[in-house]
């Protein structure tokens, strides 16, 4: 009945199979015992990004940002708060475009912050420009509802 959900561990990037009914019950990584949901976005390198996006059953929303970008910093608290709100139903990632230029190139990121929503490894929507928490949550829920 309850299909297992694949969740990449934010700490060790191993893939966990969690019964859907247990998603909200504070599941921990079978390998490193870290909580699979920590109420905050996961900062990822290219390898961890690929694993989350291609393997997770959960939809993924990635924030492409850079340290020099003022609007990125302005949006960071809203994005973090959105992670706490949307977990365990959506995985939020942060991609530092300076540390991971190949990812920024692969997705042709032209302005930051850019948010990209993925489902089953495919980009389903993107939006550029900083948003407050309310607009951010509204955008994520709308694009994932389609």
What are the catalytic residues? 69, 72
Q: Which two tokens stand for residue 87?
A: 């977990």
If one asks whether residue 36 binds Zn ion (CB under 5 A), the answer comes out as no
Show the binding pattern over residues 61-90: x = contacts Zn ion (CB under 5 A), - = does not.
------------------------------
Place of tokens 């966990």: 16
Minimum distance from residue 16 beta carbon to Zn ion (Å): 7
Minimum distance from residue 23 beta carbon to Zn ion (Å): 16
Place of tokens 């930051």: 112
Nearer to Zn ion, 11 or 137 (CB): 11
Cα four-point dihedral sign 47, 50, 53, 54: negative
DSSP H helices, 14-132, are 46-55, 70-86, 101-106
> Which residue among 5, 18, 23, 29 contacts Zn ion (CB under 5 A)?
29
């Amino acid at each position: 009945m309850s299909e297992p959900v694949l969740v990449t561990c934010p700490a060790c990037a191993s893939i966990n199979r969690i019964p859907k009914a247990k998603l909200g019950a504070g599941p921990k990584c079978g390998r490193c015992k870290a909580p699979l949901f920590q109420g905050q976005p996961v900062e990822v390198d290219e390898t961890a990004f690929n694993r989350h996006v291609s393997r997770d059953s959960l939809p993924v929303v990635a924030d492409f940002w850079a340290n020099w970008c003022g609007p990125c910093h302005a949006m960071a608290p809203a994005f973090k708060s959105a992670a706490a709100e949307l977990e365990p139903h959506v995985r939020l990632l942060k991609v530092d475009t300076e540390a991971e230029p190949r990812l920024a190139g692969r997705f042709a990121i032209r302005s930051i912050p850019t948010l990209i929503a993925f489902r089953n490894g495919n980009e389903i929507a993107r939006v550029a420009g900083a948003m407050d928490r309310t607009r951010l949550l509204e955008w994520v829920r709308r694009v994932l509802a389609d």
